[in-house]
Amino acid sequence: MPRLNMLRFLLLISILLVLRPAAFAQKDPIERLWYNEEKTAKIDIYKAVDGKFYGKIIWLKEPLRNGKSKIDIHNPDASKRNNPIIGLMILRGFKKDGKTEYHDGTVYDPKNGKTYSCKMYLKGNKLEVRGYYGISIIGRSTTWTKAED
């Protein structure tokens, strides 16, 4: 009987050692809620199972238009124009480069229905989001701020 208890104990310890790193894994600094520059939307940025970063709108200051939930009316794909803005994926496929840079992603602007190549730079409590066509010199930057600590 003591040998069986010892085996159970060793099995339990082994399981805990395997699970411990996952339990204490730290999130990346951009995995959080962000306000857009105008503070009219909150974007939830997260790391997906593919190891890349994505972001979706989870809150709008003014969620309604004409008494109904705002929808993606400017989407170039007509079949998506009735999709709600809340829940809309606007950041896709970012890879982390170093400690503060994220690249190779895209940003979708629901205000005009256009998708841009994008880079993001973490600067303390701010996230610089730079959308561009072709090369990043031809583009526009916006600064997002943390929505909560």
* Residue-range domain boundaries for the chain: 27-146
The torsion region of residue 60 among left (phi > 0), alpha (psi -120 to 50) and beta comes to beta
Above pLDDT 70, what percent of the chain? 83
Q: How far apart are CA 94 and CA 46, in angstroms?
A: 10
Whether pTM exceeds 0.85? no
Mean pLDDT, residues 72-91: 98
Is CATH 3.40.390.10 the classification given to domain 27-146? no
**Nearest residue to 132 (alpha-carbon basis) of 143, 141, 144, 123:** 141
* Strand 139-146, strand 33-35: pairing: antiparallel
Express each pLDDT in 50-68 by its tens digit: 999 999 999 999 999 999 9
Residue-level pLDDT at 12 = 47
DSSP string, 81-138: TTSBSTT-EEEEEEEEETTTEEEEEEEEETTTTEEEEEEEEEETTEEEEEEESSSTTS
With H, G, I as helix, E, B as strand and everything else as coil, classify residue 70. coil
